[in-house]
Amino acid sequence: MTGRSAFHIRRSTLNVRCLPAFGGARGDQGSMFKLLRLKLRLNLHIMFKFIHAADIHLDSPLHKLDYYEGAPKDEIRQATRRAFNNLVQTAIAEAVSFILIAGDLYDGDWKDYNTGLYLVSQMSKLRQAGISVYMVAGNHDAASKITKTLRLPENVHVFPSNKPATHTLDRLKVAIHGQSFATPAIKKDLSLVYPTPLPGYFNTGVLHTCASGREGHEPYAPCTVEGLRSKGYDYWALGHVHQYEILSHDPWIVFSGNIQGRHVRETGPKGCVLVTVDDRGCPEIEFKPLDVIRWEIVTVDSNGAESGYTVMDRFCNRLETLLDENEDWPLVVRVLIQGETPAHRDLLANIDRWSNEIRAAALDTSGHRVWVEKIKFHTRLPSSEKDLRTRDGAMGELVKLLDEFAEKPDLLRELSDELIDLEKKIPKELKQGPDRIRFDDTKWLKSLLAQVRPMLIQGLMKKEDAQ
């Protein structure tokens, strides 16, 4: 039999396709089918449940945020473990049959055996609850990167890295297909050689992949949605991309995202996917937050603000909305102040003062639920900078030069070459993490020049006014 597994046909009592949890996602079939789906559910029973998780990065240091003054050090230091505790507790509370982990359980080779001992303790809790774990290794925990190991409890199954394999749960009629990374940089489509679906079974594939490519993620084990669909599986559990994303509803092809945000590029709720399969073999999914501290970006529109205090009021209003949206989660926020405002000169002339005003307002508004990681001022004066460009003297030359850097990539490459020697003298810690200095990256240089532009212009204006 070709196409999707016979599991659906064998389990169905009516000649109706499995309809998704979110209406219309498989090609909206109209209100008649929505009503039919509701009627069917009244007579259906849950057959089994499982959890799909990925990119746990156990014991990841969250990029040394605990070195920042005022950082919530206790929450940060144990964040990935506490999120993993939530994963285990959720699995037990939901009485799932098994857990799928689609790569990057570890953040790299263990610093010591404490990571392994902690993992064994949590897997033992799952074993006691009768829950099995099936996982593939990804680029961060590929076979070639891990030098320390401990024997895991017998309920944990790791897929081999030399070829794909299949685990079956015959009692549930479930077949789980997967393959681990042998090395960190896998450039070929592993899914091409995944096994054909087992007839009469609910078939799921576990894969660490960039899919068709995602910004900020290495292009490892690329594949296409069409290629995954062609395998005929009932569910694809994907890992590597740290944002929750549904690529397909028929069948479900899902990135669960990571379970704990670690820096400002990993904003919003993080968690796992709870999959419920009914007695027709039709899966429905539900995102379950697991994170214990959450990253957010607070963008404040300063357009027309007459003073720094007006900007402050807008920040507090935006923060209150964010607190309501995130219930009781502690938040780490980066604040971006942007727009044309008469307060531009005051803000940039007193950056230290206004930065601490924002931090104080965050503490007062949130009751210590919010820690401000960084504040960036991207404001400008209401008057057009075109006028500045036509001025004589240093101001006109500065604005013209900055415009040329923004418009001419060749100039940025020349600047990058000039800065290579300087980069060698920069402390190592400034070249690590998501905000690291990257003089070899012209996009980063262009962004940096855009950030310092208003400060340079403001500084020159003050000097000209003084003269």
Q: Of 239, 255, 289, which residue sits at a domain end?
A: 289
Residue 120: inside a domain, yes or no?
Answer: yes
| Residue 148 DSSP SS3 | coil
The pLDDT score that the predictor gives to residue 409 is 85
- pTM here? 0.77
DSSP conformation class of 223: -
| Burial of 263 per CB tally in 10 Å (0-12, 13-18, 19+) | middle
Residue 427: inside a domain, yes or no?
Answer: yes
Is there a single domain that holds both residue 405 and residue 311?
Answer: no
Is there a single domain that holds both residue 423 and residue 341?
Answer: no
The pLDDT score that the predictor gives to residue 132 is 98
pLDDT in tens, 234-254: 999 999 999 999 999 999 999
Residue 2: inside a domain, yes or no?
Answer: no
| Residue 106 DSSP SS3 | strand
Is there a single domain that holds both residue 285 and residue 420?
Answer: no
Is there a single domain that holds both residue 25 and residue 51?
Answer: yes
**295 pLDDT exceeds 90?**
yes
The sign of the dihedral angle between the CA atoms of 7, 11, 15, 16 is: negative
Residue 157: inside a domain, yes or no?
Answer: yes
Is there a single domain that holds both residue 128 and residue 84?
Answer: yes
Is there a single domain that holds both residue 203 and residue 137?
Answer: yes
How many angstroms separate the CA atoms of 440 and 431, rounded?
11
Is there a single domain that holds both residue 343 and residue 395?
Answer: no
Average pLDDT, the chain: 84
**9 pLDDT exceeds 60?**
no
Report whether 346 contacts 305 (CB < 8 A): no
Rg over CA atoms, the chain: 26
| Residue 300 DSSP SS3 | strand
Q: Of 382, 399, 416, which residue sits at a domain end?
A: 382
Is there a single domain that holds both residue 267 and residue 310?
Answer: no
Q: How far is CA 313 from CA 185, 361, 373, in A?
A: 48, 9, 19
How many angstroms separate the CA atoms of 414 and 10, rounded?
66
What is the end-to-end Cα distance of the chain in Å, rounded? Answer: 85
Q: What percent of the chain has pLDDT over 70?
A: 81
Closest CA to 25 of 253, 273, 269: 253
Q: Of 344, 362, 382, which residue sits at a domain end?
A: 382
The pLDDT score that the predictor gives to residue 143 is 65
pLDDT in tens, 22-74: 333 334 444 554 555 554 554 557 799 999 999 999 988 765 555 566 677 77
Residue 421: inside a domain, yes or no?
Answer: yes
Report whether 378 contacts 451 (CB < 8 A): yes
Using pLDDT thresholds of 50, 70 and 90, give the confidence band for residue 419.
confident
Report whether 240 contacts 210 (CB < 8 A): yes
**Containing structural domain, residue 138:** 7-289
